[in-house]
Structure 1
Amino acid sequence: MTEQGDLIAGRYRLQRRIGAGGMGVVWQAFDERLDRVVALKHLLLPPGLSTEEAERARQRAVREARIAARLQHPGAVTVHDVVEDGGRPVLVMEYVRASSLAELIAARGPLPAVQAAQVGGQVAAALAVAHEAGIVHRDVKPANILMTDTGAAKITDFGIARARGDTTITATGLLVGTPAFLAPEVARGHEPSAASDVFSLGATLYTAVEGRAPFGDGDNAIALLHAVAGGQMIPPASHGPITDVVLHMMRADPAARPTMAQAAENLHAVAVGRPAPAPTRLDLRPLADPPAPASRRPRSALPIAAAAIAAVVLTVLLYPLLTSSRQVADQPPAPTTSAVAAAQLQQSVAGYYALLPDRTDEAWTRLSPAMQAQGREQYEKAWKDVKDLVVTAAPQATDTDTVTIGVEYTAESRGRLRETRQLHLMIDGSRVLIDSDQVLTSERINGKNENRDKKDDDGEKDDKKGKGGN
C-alpha cells in the first residue's frame, strides 16, 4: 500500500495525495534528483484480468505514456517520465496548481460563453497536436481539464488509456471511459478515435455552458450509456455562437464533426467575437461505390425511432401541399456540383415526409444506408406510437447539408411534444437521402383532444425537461 513519505523509483518522494479516480491515484511528490515538485499517478489495472492480460495492460499503459511524454504544448500537462512501483506503471507529470473544470462548474455554476470558448480553444489546440502525433486521449471530460488562477486551461491524463488498436471493452466486459462524455459510437462498442475526442470535448463544453451533462447525470450508468449510444441528448437551453460550435462537435456521425484543429479555430473565433468559420466537413457528399464495410462508421444522431417520429410530423400539413409536385419531389434533379440548392434540400425533405405515415415502403428508400442499418422492423414500429401531427415551421435549409423543421405531435409513450429538429442529408447518385436527425429543442405541452391528458396532467407537470429522443 502506497503511503505518504514513500520513495518511488529511487527519486520521487510522496508528499500528499491530491486525487483519485477509476484509472489511478494521484500524488504530489518531490523529485529529489532534479529538486522540483511533480505529480505522480499510480495507474490501476481493470479488475478481473488474468496474469497475462494484466501484463499486456501494463505494457500498453507504459507504451502509451512514453508516447504522451513526447508532447510539448502549453494546453497539455506534460508527462516527464514513466516508472514502475511494485509492478504497476507510474506516470511522472508536470505539477499544476489548479482546480479542475468539474470543480469550477460545481462551485460557480455554468461558465460564460466567452470563457467556455477560451477554455475549449486551449484544450482543442493541445488535443490537435496530440492527434497529429497519433495519440487519442479517450477520456476528455471536465475532471480532466485543469484551470489555473491565470485562466490557463490544461488537459491532463494523457497516457493512461489503452494504445490505439486495443478493443474498447475489457475482458471482463467493462467499458473504459466516462459514460456521460463518451461519443455515441464508442458507447456502442466502436474503437475510440480522434473524432470521438472531438465529441467528448464538445460534451465537456456543453456541460460548462449548460451546467449539466448533455445526456444527464443520473447514478444509473447503464441507463446513461443507453442514452449516449442512442444520441438522446438533452437540448441545450443556451443559444449563440458557442452552442452552434458545440453542436457541430457533437454530431452523431463521426465524419460530420470538425477535426480537432478546426474545432480549435472555431472556438478561438467565438472567444474573440468573430464568426466561426463555415464547416468544411459535409454530410452531403457522394457515397463510395460500394462502401467498404470495414471502414464504415455508423452515423446517426438519434435512434431510427426518433427519425421516424420527426418525419411523421410533417405529413398532415405538407401532404396536400405537395400533391401537385409529387413527381418533382420523388425525382429530384441530379446535382451538378457538390453543393445542392436549398430548395432541393427542402423539397427532398418535404417529399419524404409526404409519403408518411401510410407509404412507409417508399419512405424507407429515402433513408441513407446508415439509417437503414438500424432496422426496418424498428422503423415500422415507430410509426404506431405517433398521432395528431402538426407542422409548426416548414422545412428550412440552414446550411449546405442541413434542414431545420418545427413540429408538434402526440406520442403514446410521452404525450404531446413541440420540437425543433435538424436533419442532415447526403447524396447517393442523383438522390438526396436523410442521413441523421437531431432534436435541437423539445418541450412537453398539453394536448386538447386527448382523453388521457386529463389523467396525465400531474405527470406532465413533473416533466420539465425536453428530451433528445423519442
Structure 2
Amino acid sequence: MTDEGRLVAGRYRVRARLGAGAMGVVWRAFDERLGREVALKQLVVPEGVDAVEAAARAAREGRIAARLHHPNAITVHDVVEEAGRPVLVMEYLPSRSLAEVGVLEPGAAARVVAQVASALAAAHAAGIVHRDVKPGNVLIAADGTAKISDFGIARAVGDVAVTRTGLLAGTPAFLAPEVARGGEPGPASDVFSLGATLYAAVEGRPPFGDGVNAIALLHTVASGRFAPPAHAGPLTGLLMDMLRTEPHSRPTMAQVAERLRGGPPAHTPPPQVPLPQTRLDLAPAPPGRRGRLLPVALVALTVVGAVVAVVVATSGDDGDRVAAPTSGVTTGSATAGSATAGSAPATTTTAPAVELERAVADYYALLPEHVDEAWEMLGPGARAQGRPGFEKAWRDVEDLTVVATPVLSGPGAVTLAIGYTKGSHRVTETRRHRVVVRDGTPLIESDEVLLSEREDRKKRHRDEEKDEGDG
C-alpha cells in the first residue's frame, strides 16, 4: 500500500497515510461497501522474521482484539490481506493522543485515565493483556472521550507466542520493571504502565525519564527506582500504588478505575482537545511544567464510541437535570413530553455513579426472561415505544450476556456492551442509556445502540474448528 486511491480487499479505498512505526503502517481509508471511514494497519515484517509467521501473528492479534467490545477501546472490524500481508481494519475517529496533548491538571488527567482503566479492566476480565499502554496509545476525541488504542501487540493470557524473535514488545519508558527484567507481561504490568502514563500526564515526563538510550533506560526501569510525583496532588497515593515494584502489591485495573471515578477534584472539567476546525482549550498547566513526553512509536488508531458530555444536560423546560458524573445525578421536576403530562414532580435526589451503573446491570440481569420486571425499570422516555414494542424487541432474544460491564460515560449516561443470540446470528452491541433518578429510584430513560455487530453462528463454529485444526 504505497499510494492513495488504491483499493484494498475490493472495498477499502486508501485516502491518506497517517503514519508508521515499529509495528506497522497506518492509513485512513473509506469502506465503499458500508460507506464509512476506517483505519487500516498493515503489518511491517521486521528483518529476520518469517513472513508466514508474521501473518499468523497478525491474524491472531486481530482475533484477540475483536474479542473486546468496550466504548473506551478500539474495535477491529476485519482482517484482510494486501500484497500477501495482513491488514487490520478498525474504526476511525479524528483525535489527538495523550502524548500530543501534553501536561494535564490532576482532575483532567484522572478523567482521561479513568476511561482507559475501565476499558483495560474489561480486557483483563476477558483474558487480554494490552502490553503497550503508553500516552501515544491513549486517544482523546474533541468531546473529551478517551480510548485505549492499538491492541495490535496484545495477546490473550495463556496463548503461545507466535513470534520467537525475542523482540521487545512495548515502549521502554512505560514498561513495568518485571517486563524490563525479561518477565512475562500480565494484568499487573498494564497497571504499572497505565500508572506511568498517568505520571507523565501530570509531571510532563515518564517516571524513569525519557532518555534516547533504550538500553540504559531499560536498566533504569528494571531497577524500579523513580522520583515520587511532585504535581499529582490527590492522585499521588494512587500513583504510588500503581507504580509499586512488585506486581502482586499493585491494585487491580478494576480497582484503579473505581478509585479514579471517585477521584480529584469534582470541579475540574475533562480536557477539550483541539482538532482541525475545532476550537477547544485544554486545562492549562502551571508555568514551567510543560514537559515533553516520549515520542510516539506508532500513530495511534481511534474508534467511534460513547460521547462524554461536559455540560449540564436538560430535557424540556422542566426536564431531568443531570450533574457532573463525579458528583452523581440530580433530578428536578421531571417531564418527558406527553408521556409525563399530569405526573407528579419527582423528589430531588442524588445518586453516585456506582448506583447508576448498578441499575443498568440489574436491568440486563432481568432480560430477556423477565420482561415484566424490566419494564418496571424504564422511565417515561423509554416507555414511549409502548409495551408491545418492548416485548417484541426481546421476544426472540436468547443467551444474553454482559460483555463489558456498565460504566458511567457522561452526565447520567451509562454505557455497556452486551451479546445475545437472535435467530441464526450472534449479536454484539455497545449500548448507551440515559439514567434518571425519580423519587430515589434510578430509571432507564433512553436506550441508544452505538455499535452493533452480527455474526452467523454456523460460520463462527466453522472458523473455530479451523483455528483448532491450525493449532
The bucket for the TM-score relative to the shorter chain is 0.5 to 0.7
The equivalent residue for 1:59 is: 56
Cα 1:163/1:8, change in 2 over 3 Å: farther
Query: How far apart are residue 134 of structure 1 and its match?
Result: 1.0
- Which of the numbers 98, 118, 123 marks the counterpart of 1:130? 123
The equivalent residue for 2:177 is: 184
**Contact 1:40/1:91 (<8 A) preserved:** yes
**Contact 1:43/1:89 (<8 A) preserved:** yes
The equivalent residue for 1:284 is: none
Deviations 1:193-241 (A, max 9, x none): 1110111000000000001111111110000000001112233222432
The equivalent residue for 1:402 is: none
In the TM superposition, what are the counterparts of 1:43-442 in structure 2 within 5 Å? 43-49=43-49, 51=50, 54-105=51-102, 110-162=103-155, 164-165=157-158, 171-271=164-264, 273=266
Distance in 2 between the 1:239 and 1:75 partners? Answer: 24
| Percent identity of equivalent pairs | 65
Cα 1:206/1:67, change in 2 over 3 Å: same
The equivalent residue for 2:467 is: none
Deviations 1:260-287 (A, max 9, x none): 111000111114549xxxxxxxxxxxxx
**Higher relative contact order (Cα pairs below 8 Å, separated by 6+ residues):** 2
Deviations 1:304-327 (A, max 9, x none): xxxxxxxxxxxxxxxxxxxxxxxx
Q: Secondary structure at the match of 1:270?
A: coil
Query: How far apart are residue 15 of structure 1 and its match?
Result: 0.2
Cα 1:168/1:178, change in 2 over 3 Å: farther
The equivalent residue for 2:434 is: none
Distance in 2 between the 1:271 and 1:159 partners? Answer: 32
Query: How far apart are residue 66 of structure 1 and its match?
Result: 1.4
Larger of the two Rg values belongs to structure: 1
The equivalent residue for 2:22 is: 22
Distance in 2 between the 1:251 and 1:162 partners? Answer: 24
AA matched with 2:70: H
TM-score (norm 2): 0.54
TM-score (norm 1): 0.54
Cα 1:138/1:120, change in 2 over 3 Å: same
Distance in 2 between the 1:238 and 1:115 partners? Answer: 13
Q: List alignment gaps of at least 5 residues for structure 2.
A: 268-471
Cα 1:164/1:85, change in 2 over 3 Å: farther
**Contact 1:60/1:163 (<8 A) preserved:** no
Cα 1:206/1:55, change in 2 over 3 Å: same
The equivalent residue for 1:35 is: 35
**Contact 1:38/1:94 (<8 A) preserved:** yes
The equivalent residue for 1:7 is: 7
Q: CA RMSD in A?
A: 2.0
**Contact 1:126/1:155 (<8 A) preserved:** yes
Distance in 1 between the 2:123 and 2:207 partners? Answer: 25
Cα 1:185/1:218, change in 2 over 3 Å: same
AA matched with 1:5: G
Distance in 1 between the 2:228 and 2:157 partners? Answer: 32
Query: How far apart are residue 168 of structure 1 and its match?
Result: 8.3
For these two proteins, the number of residue pairs brought into alignment is 267
Q: List alignment gaps of at least 5 residues for structure 1.
A: 275-470
Distance in 1 between the 2:9 and 2:156 partners? Answer: 24
Cα 1:228/1:84, change in 2 over 3 Å: same
